[in-house]
A and B are shown apart, each in its own frame.
Chain A
Amino acid sequence: MNDYENAIEIKGITKRYDGFTLDNVSFDVPKGSIMGFIGQNGAGKTTTINTLLNIVKKDAGEIKLLGFDHEKDEFEAKKYIAAVFDELPFDDRLNAIAIDKILREIYEEWSADTFFGYLDRFALPRKKKFGKFSKGMKMKLQIAAALSHNAKLLVMDEATTGLDPVVRSEILDIFLEYLQNEEHTILMSSHITSDLDKVADSVTFIDKGKIMISGYKDDILDTHGVLKCTKNEYKDIDPEDIISARINDFGADVLISDRARCAVKYSGAVIDRASLEDIMIYYVNRAKKEWR
């Protein structure tokens, strides 16, 4: 394996479709961390992930995965990458024993012991056909398969969507355990921000094909805040400080991107910490500036 600091390096990728453009997207995912990739449906999360996996051909930009060029060294990089999608990509007629036989021939570092170890841990049957699995079982199986070939990078596209909180929590625990190895990295796209609140080290927000914010989660949460004020106080807020404002009958909740400075500038105003969900919703509405 080659040396690298960032498991994923994306520089200025652009992909144009009729009616949608992934526009000059850039962000890095440091080795040994978990990055949450957040955005509403249709924001460009899946296109970005498909582009970095070279499932979709980019129009411009540069992508490095585990230090490898994602096009030139695609298959070398993919030996160490596992992709997990929102749906199980295995035929309903297969079972875990068959999947072991298939994937052991595909991945050089496939470990049947690890795979069956995960199956036992998740209490998944070995001979039952996947068609008879529940959604939670299917996701656990997909994760078991993804973690059994010594993948250094786990790329997940809406993997926890549609799962109940118990299964989601179980899966998030597995991810944290996987990250105990410093060589391991996760990019996790989701619109369920509570999951990312729990596990993400860094976060990238995407909306309408453009990156809104990218950075360490704690920094983003520390700097952003929701300023609560009356309608009159709202008029006095510098528009440059406002990302967007939710107007209600009594006043306004304003998302600001520099909490410390605004606390001084608008002394007396109540500024709450913003959650990832707040940040996502306010950024999505930034074009409108004011919304209800």
Chain B
Amino acid sequence: MKGLVYRELYLVRKPIIITILAYFAFVAFCSLVFISTYAGNLANNGEGAQTLANFYPQAFFFAACIAMLGMEYGHNDLIEKDYKSRWQLFSYTLPMNEKKVAASKFIARGLLLVGGFLLAILGEVILSIAARKSVSLSHIGTIFLIFTFMTLSYSDIPLMLRFKRQSKVVGVCMLVGIPLGVGTVFAAGCVAGYLSSRAQELYPELEKREAMTKVTTHFFEKLQHITLIAAPFILIGLVGISYFFAVRELRRRRY
């Protein structure tokens, strides 16, 4: 199986290199901005602290997204290319069963995601040093949430094996995702409306925005807390279900 994992990683090395370069360019740019808020041009105009306050809480998030999405991106269309090159057919002639073939794809995807996660953590460390702040546990929690969310991409493996083409998978995901998305937006609107009225009730003395922030901060902290507890279960569950369907699909292909 090591050979199959090596093959998967070898074939995505270019997107990985591009991701790492883009990621470090972004982190370097942000770090320079942060440094300049106390040791450069921005320190002199009096807005350095404000710039840092605005920019710092967002930078780690974008860096994490670049790292994790980028690492995973190149691996997405590999199965489509395997069908085109007939590797998928050839893999049935190898002395290994479907479980190992599927596992190699999951291990490769996992290594890429963990690589992205570690890059994101590194980004947080670099950015916090550049901003002269301590590493934020809340930021690391958010990075972990993104990582958990990214495990959704495991479901891409059985879908790609089933539909062979990324365009078809996107079509299927949209078919399911659009009603779900519309539902989520609608639900979010309802929740926002509820929170807004609750904010006015609880903090009538505050401005609407401030009151809302006060209410939602608590709400989001709770959500983050719940998600952090649920994350390992979601992660293992998603990977397990995706793996089961990937193996089943590989077996079904022996038509």
State yes or no: do A and B come from one complex.
yes
A54→B89 contact, CB < 8 A? no
Question: Which of the four size classes fits the interface of chain B?
Answer: 20 to 34
A55→B6 contact, CB < 8 A? no
What is the bound-complex CA distance between A232 and B3, given in angstroms?
68
Residues in B with CB closer than 8 Å to A75 are 95-97
Given contacts A91-B11, A98-B10, A101-B6, contact A55 B93 (CB under 8 A): yes
Interface centre among A98, A104, A106 (most CB of B within 10 A): A106
> Which of B26-34, B39-47, B78-86, B170-178 is found at the contact surface with chain A?
B78-86
Instruction: Provide the main secondary structure of the chain B interface.
Output: helix
Residues in A with CB closer than 8 Å to B96 are 75, 106
Given contacts A93-B11, A106-B3, A106-B4, contact A85 B89 (CB under 8 A): yes
What is the bound-complex CA distance between A147 and B94, given in angstroms?
14
A87→B86 contact, CB < 8 A? yes
What is the bound-complex CA distance between A79 and B11, given in angstroms?
25
B81-125 Cβ-contact flags toward A at 8 Å (1 or 0)? 110011101101111110000000000000000000000000000
Q: Does A81 contact B (CB under 8 A)?
A: yes
Q: What are 23 of the A-B contact pairs (CB < 8 Å)?
A: A53-B92, A55-B92, A75-B95, A75-B97, A85-B90, A88-B85, A89-B85, A89-B87, A89-B89, A89-B90, A90-B87, A91-B82, A98-B7, A98-B10, A101-B10, A102-B6, A102-B7, A105-B1, A105-B2, A105-B3, A106-B3, A106-B95, A107-B95
Question: Which of the four size classes fits the interface of chain A?
Answer: 20 to 34
What is the bound-complex CA distance between A217 and B255, given in angstroms?
33
B4→A78 contact, CB < 8 A? no
Q: Does B133 contact A (CB under 8 A)?
A: no
A78→B94 contact, CB < 8 A? yes
What is the bound-complex CA distance between A101 and B7, given in angstroms?
8
Residues in B with CB closer than 8 Å to A104 are 3
